[in-house]
Structure 1
Amino acid sequence: MQCSIHVSEDPTARTARAHPGSAGRGKVCAKGIHAPEHTGHHERILFPFLRDGEQVRLVEWEEALCTAAGLIRRTIAQYGPSAVGVYGGGSLTNEAAYLLGKFARVAIRTPNVDYNGRYCMSSAAAAQNLVLGLDRGLTAPLTDIARCAWIWVFGSNLAECQPTLVQYLLEAKAQGATIVVVDPRRTRTADLATEHLAIRPRGDLAFVNALCREIIYNGWFDRDYVERRTSGFCELAAHLEPWTAEAVEGITGIQSERIRELSRAFAQAPSAFILTARGVEQRPDGVETVIACLNLALLTGRVGQEPSGFGCVTGQMNGQGVREHGLKADQLPGYRLIDDPVARAHIASVWNINPGDIPSRGLTAYEMFEAIHRGEIRALFVMASNPVTSSPHAARVREAFAKLDALIAVDLFPTDTTRLAHVVLPAASFLEQEGTLTNLEGRVTYRPQVRELPRHVREDWRILCDLAERLGAGRYFSYTSPEEIFAELARASAGGKADYSGIDYPLLKSGEGVYWPCPSRGHPGTPRPFSERFFTPDGRARLMSVGTWEVFVTHQERPWMLTTGRVVEHYLTGVQTRRTTRLVERVPHAFLEMHPDDALELGVADGERVEVISDVGSVVLPVRRSSRLRRRTVFVPMHWEGGENVNRIVPAILHKISKIPNFKSIPVTIRKCKEEGEPC
């Protein structure tokens, strides 16, 4: 590296022993406490049904499956297999996700398969693949967080989005750790931190670049680690030269002197963990911001050195596992790239097909919906997701779905998506089907079936097998249990980056889960995959130069900045939590949170309605005043359908690499509504 740079026993422990396989160590949040209630809700879909216009008809499974298969076959015959899209969800088990990807590529032979994690984890995944060579939620176990002296939390509200993980922050804090939360809102997570930095929206990338610059130019970086384990240092140092603390002060709202102080304190901390989440990832510069955070971790030697680490907090129950085994447009099981001839040959041998029969990479989530408008996709199969509500520019997505010749949906409840479907198949709840999950640590765990299936409901894997049979591909889907599917998944993953080949059901049932890669029976698993080398050709992590000043240009016509997110009572589009009595009682409707001074300026009180207008639409919501936001920044939770759906005003601006939409920094105009009952 030659370049010119001057330079007594606590109850938590008892709980952990009682629940050794749980990331939350037996703790549950409000959603977990009430989780079983929705499975018995009176609105649950318990029979297959067909829809023809406004007419809905309950049918037996045979008719429903034959109708669905007929619609798919007709589409393929008229337009080819790529005219069928397949869309899954991050709540699927590993077995169901693996099978859905195989179903798309073998039974239908379409390249167009993706899942709702595209809206959630794709920026983090892209960044980690570019820098570390591997997308792994956390680079070390959660327990390492509790042992760290310094913890950065960028754009994550753990206390409301993943409450059971807060215990690791509290344990670290009790031992004297410094916890710094970077977020435009003062969230419940910020309340427990040592310090909250109320950064301006879109300022994170500039802030992290400034931290990195201070660390390099003051000689606070870990020189030995950087020389041995990374590449690109000189290029990064040159790129960061203009990103001074003074230069970014106006962009971030954080004083230059404080930036310097934080840089030095963090670099000199004996151990540290950096956590990122949707606040910095669901943006036009989401991939670049995560890369900058990885630069920060690598410059200070935090990745692969116990107990330090880096992690992107997963947003869905099986968000990690689903993206590992072929439910992304560019991937095959085991984190293999679909365009890799060696990968295609291996998967084809497991599936007993010709490598040439596996389609190439296809369209990502929102790209499929635009393809519907163009007439390129004519049929869509949706399992365990509600994209009509969760997608940006929701009105345009609804219009697309209404154009489909065939929409087949598998779900527990009526949703904005199932209400447009021609065939609806009733899904089993999480209590009613067994399978495996992979958490953000990369730890594979077993989840048993604990409740009998309702009479006319089938498990996800069985629905796929039954439908594949009626599509003429039954010989490739002749499974009798989730365990049998997992065994094939393990074989398919063998030799891949996410290698499960040493894992089986007996092992998972007998212990606390296994960290992948686990390439052989008897292998202990890999809780810290980067201890010796990174998953790049030369084994080195790549320090990468990211960030341009253009991204920080202010939108003059729409002076407010809207950000969206979760509240602790609800989850995703609220399909399940809005059918849970206690949770609905606490937060029954969507709302707009704004600073009291901004509310005063607009002349609105709590509960009064305002119209929020973006470049693609508007939504009317009641106001909640809160001094927890910066001025000119507003927040709306994302858990409601219909007229309360904030995604109606989120433009479909996709990151060029990850294809993740921008849900976190939308310029808007806000105006007070007239009297109750009158339009705004």
Structure 2
Amino acid sequence: LFNGILHLMIEHDWVDQQFIADHTVGFDAVAAHVREWTPQRTAEVTGIAVKSIRQAAEWWGTAKTSFLCHARGLEHHSHGVQNVMSAINIVLASGRIGRPNCGYSTITGQGNGQGGREHGQKCDQLPGGRDLANPEHRAYVAGVWGMDASDLPQPGVDAYEIIRKIDRGEIKGLLSLCFNPVVSLPDNNFVRQALEKLEHYVVIDFFMSESARYADIVLPGSLHEEDEGTVTQTEGRVVRINKAVGCPGEARPDWRIIQDIAKALGRERGLTFENPGEMFEELRVASRGGIADYSGITYERIEQNFGVFWPCPSDVPEGVPMPGPQGTPRLFEPGSWNPVAKGAGPFYFPDGRARMNVTPYVGPAEDVDEEFPIILTTGRVVSQFLSGNQTRRIGPLVDHCPEPRIELHPRLAVRLGIADGDWTMVESRRGHCTLRASVVTTIRPDTVFIPYHWPGRKSANQLTISAQDPISKIPEYKVCAVRVRKADAPPDYADVLEPQQ
């Protein structure tokens, strides 16, 4: 779709040639590639009417201001990185980025998804957005931590590869923190089988999740409201979180549990913090000079300014003046500090220029066929959150959406003989579930939708495929092939209420 829109933008000269020449690399190759993406071909591949494609291209191409914002769905494909790069292409081609009321942004899937990565939570990252495989980055952070760089681990594997390694016997033990893989990961029948092979499984969580029931030891951790610290918004704004209540019973803050485990293993060096403020002070040093530079951010400045934007170096870098005490509210503002280009340009590449990337169309890992002729897509409902471990315990939220339903278009419902409210069987090559049907006009006639927040026999992820994007490693939650029919009888759990009801 984005290739088709860019084709029309170029055809009608709705691109900013000056911006492209001054601030980008790769436009000519991209323009040559999208030449084949005529409105007719785009319509054939996407199923979107030619008229709608032309209208979308005109709206975007002729706008004076625009902001492209998407959430995780664009990435939940086996070619999700390609999707995102093609979206960025139409933003860069328009030149509408780095100026008021224009830009591009993504919405993370949960609170502090942005901040966690900047702190180095991912298996291939170090604090400040540094790369665990980069020798220079390893040496700096190892120096902060008072250790030899060779003692730092090499980049690890993604969450689903961990499950595969457990299944193959390569991982014998697992410590998981607020992670509910038997609900949230695809093909979760395979996930459950793998977890049963662990020799020891330890879970830190604030509620007894479905995954925690497979654990040998469950350590009660803390809710967001039971601890303090900072979170970082998607625009790079660091905000303060104050503790509202203490942990109940034997529950403890997650970081204290991890410190005690380190002490019990004889590896407590560097894990002797008294409070989250001390950890933040270490982050300031560890992130200095990185892309996400927190070194100039303090609790006091956050409180004074209702949030501070990174990068916020503590010193004036290489003589380039900073825009003020609030960090860098607009990354592309003239004079703002770019730690990658070091003042050479606004984009985070050594030459300061944004990259436009050729994005060939790649179909789903599992397409429809005669045996499984319908597309299943999964996602969220507004009253539930992630695996539902919190929200399925809150009565009013459960009342709003007490069970998952399969949404299907009226034309598909008529063809299959299914009425609204009928119990409906959905099957894929990996599993099946029986849910009530909701006949709606807000979905394509070749597609059904199931929300993924529920466990067990109601779980949409019994059906999904474990195919992943080769770069991001995000699974293809948005497309797999299924067959759908009216159920012969209600399932045995049809009259069983959720515990919260």
User: Does the alignment reach a TM-score above 0.5?
Assistant: yes
Return closer, same or farther for 1:358/1:255 CA change in 2, 3 Å cut-off: same
Amino acid at match of 2:267: A
Residue number among 90, 97, 107 corresponding to 1:296 in the alignment:
90
Correspondence 1:318 to 2:318: no
Aligned counterpart, 1:387: 181
**Aligned partners of 2:125 and 2:254: how far apart in 1?**
21
Question: Partner of 1:501 in structure 2?
Answer: 295
Aligned residue for 2:376?
A: 562
Partner in structure 1 of residue 496 of structure 2 = none
CA distance in 1, matches of 2:152, 2:327: 30
- Larger relative contact order, structure 1 or 2 (CA cutoff 8 Å, min sep 6): 1
| Distance across 1 between alignment mates of 2:326 and 2:282 | 21
Post-superposition CA distance 1:413-439 (Å, at most 9, x none): 111210000110111122211111011
**Aligned match of 2:340:** none
Q: Does 1:277 align with 2:90?
A: no
Residue of structure 2 in register with 1:660 after alignment: 474
Alpha-carbon separation, structure 1, partners of 2:219 and 2:450: 32
Q: Tell me the CA shift for residue 676 of structure 1.
A: 3.4
Letter in 1 for 2:142: A
CA distance, structure 2, for counterparts of residue 255 and residue 585 of structure 1: 38
Structure 1 residue 385, shift from structure 2 partner? 1.6
The one-letter code matched in structure 1 to 2:78 is P
In the alignment, is residue 592 of structure 1 matched against residue 386 of structure 2? no
Give per-residue Cα distances to partners, 1:139-168, cap 9 Å, x unaligned: xxxxxxxxxxxxxxxxxxxxxxxxxxxxxx
Name the aligned partner's letter for residue 361 of structure 2. T
Corresponding residue of 1:168: none
The answer to whether residue 246 in structure 2 is matched with residue 452 in structure 1 is yes
- Which residues in structure 2 correspond to 1:45-60 (within 5 Å)? none
Question: Which piece of structure 1 moves more, 424-433 or 596-605?
Answer: 596-605
How far off is 1:549 after superposition?
A: 6.0
Match of 1:407, SS?
strand
RMSD: 1.8
1:427 aligns with 2:221: yes
**Secondary structure of 2:231's aligned partner:** strand
Whole-angstrom CA distance in 2 between matches of 1:647 and 1:545: 32
Q: Distance in 2 between matches of 1:347 and 1:504?
A: 20
Q: Deviations over 1:358-395 (max 9, x none)?
A: 01111111011101111111111111121121001101
In 2: Cα distance, 1:256 partner to 1:673 partner: 37
Amino acid at match of 1:541: A
Relative to 1, partners in 2 of residues 1:630 and 1:548: Cα closer, same or farther, differing over 3 Å? closer
**What does 1:237-636 align with in structure 2 at a 5 Å threshold?**
237-520=31-314, 523-531=325-333, 532-548=345-361, 554-557=367-370, 558-636=372-450
Deviations 1:565-595 (A, max 9, x none): 1111110011111110111112111111111
Distance in 1 (CA, whole Å) between partners of 2:233 and 2:284 is 17
> Structure 2 CA distance, aligned partners of 1:407 and 1:475?
24
2:288 aligned partner, one-letter code: A
Q: Which runs of 4+ in 1 moved over 4 A?
A: 549-554
Matched to 1:547, the amino acid is: P
Alpha-carbon deviation of 1:545? 0.4
Residue 279 of structure 1 aligns with an amino acid whose one-letter code is: G
**1:649 counterpart residue number:** 463
Displacement of 1:219 in angstroms is 1.8
1:528 alignment partner AA? R
Residue 553 of structure 1 deviates from its aligned partner by 9.1
Report the alpha carbon displacement of residue 554 of structure 1 after superposing the two structures with TM.
4.9
1:305 positional shift: 2.1
Q: Deviations over 1:71-123 (max 9, x none)?
A: xxxxxxxxxxxxxxxxxxxxxxxxxxxxxxxxxxxxxxxxxxxxxxxxxxxxx
Deviations 1:230-251 (A, max 9, x none): 0111111111111111211122
Q: CA deviation at 1:550?
A: 5.2
Deviation at 1:302, TM superposition (A): 1.7
**Partner Cα distance (1:519, 1:527) in 2:** 13
Unaligned runs of 5+ in 2: 316-323, 334-344, 494-501
Task: Please tell me the residue identity of whatever aligns with 2:435.
Answer: L
Deviation at 1:552, TM superposition (A): 10
Does the CA-based 8 Å contact 2:407-2:440 persist in structure 1? Answer: yes
Helix, strand or coil for the counterpart of 1:525? coil
Distance 2:148 2:413 in 1: 63
TM-score between both structures, scaled by the size of structure 2: 0.91
Q: Do the aligned residues in 2 keep the contact of 1:273 with 1:309 (CA within 8 Å)?
A: yes
Q: Which amino acid aligns with 1:527?
A: P
Q: Partner of 2:342 in structure 1?
A: none
Tell me how far 1:357 sits from its aligned partner.
Answer: 0.3
User: Number of residue pairs matched?
Assistant: 474
| Amino acid aligned to 1:278 | R
TM-score scaled by structure 1? 0.68
Q: Bigger shift: 292-301 or 502-511?
A: 502-511
The share of aligned pairs that are identical, in percent, is 40
Letter in 2 for 1:297: V
Gaps of 5+ in 1: 1-206
Distance 1:491 1:541 in 2: 29
Amino acid paired to 1:281: E
Compute the displacement of 1:456 (Å). 1.6
Tell me the distance in 2 between the aligned counterparts of 1:677 and 1:239.
50
Give the 3-state SS of the residue equivalent to 1:474 in structure 2: coil
C-alpha distance 295-674 of structure 1, shift in aligned 2 (>3 A): same
SS at match of 1:634: strand
- In terms of fraction of residues, the more helix-rich structure is 1
